Copies of this chain bind each other. A is one copy, B any other.
Amino acid sequence: MQKTVLTYGTFDLFHIGHLSLLQRLRALGDRLIVGVSTDEFNEIKGKKTVVPFSDRIEIVGALRCVDLAIPEENWEQKVGDIQRHNIAVFGMGSDWEGRFDELKLHCEVVYLPRTEGVSSTHIRKTLKVLDRSHVRELKQALDLISSIVERFD
């Protein structure tokens, strides 16, 4: 019988860490279903993405290792998805370790290690450096002006 694996995520700024996790999850079974968080659900979670939901789900669904991409719209849909898609394994990155253990009532639950040093946060930081030079220049200007102002104190 076919063994189907299920996972969820936002997959903003799609990177090698996302791909590696999805490929390793897919290798745990014969089919991989990925729930991609909608922009509305991310808003509830207080998470703002650079890439809109429609693009994120299309990119995830275009991967050879992903058999089906579905929207993730709330915290409660997991049990329903597990039953509807006859899920054998629920898998997440180890940053979620222990957080979904209650799903063990319904299927196997695994947490896989994340790729070191790669994340959307990391990419955002790398990109921000591109603008840091402006901040540095302005700080130098401020220091200079401060020193001028001090002479009048």
B-binding residues in A (CB < 8 A): 13-16, 19, 23, 50-51, 55, 58-59, 62-65, 118, 123-124, 126-128, 130-132, 134-135, 138-139, 141-142, 145-146, 148-149, 152
Contact = CB atoms under 8 A, between A and B. Distances in A.
Nearest to A48: B130
B58 A19 contact: yes
B131 A135 contact: yes
B126 A128 contact: no
Given A13-B13, A135-B138, A149-B149, 6 more contacts: A16-B55, A19-B62, A62-B65, A64-B64, A127-B128, A142-B145
A16 B142 contact: no
A18 to B, nearest CB: 9
Contacts of A59: 14-16, 19
B62 A123 contact: no
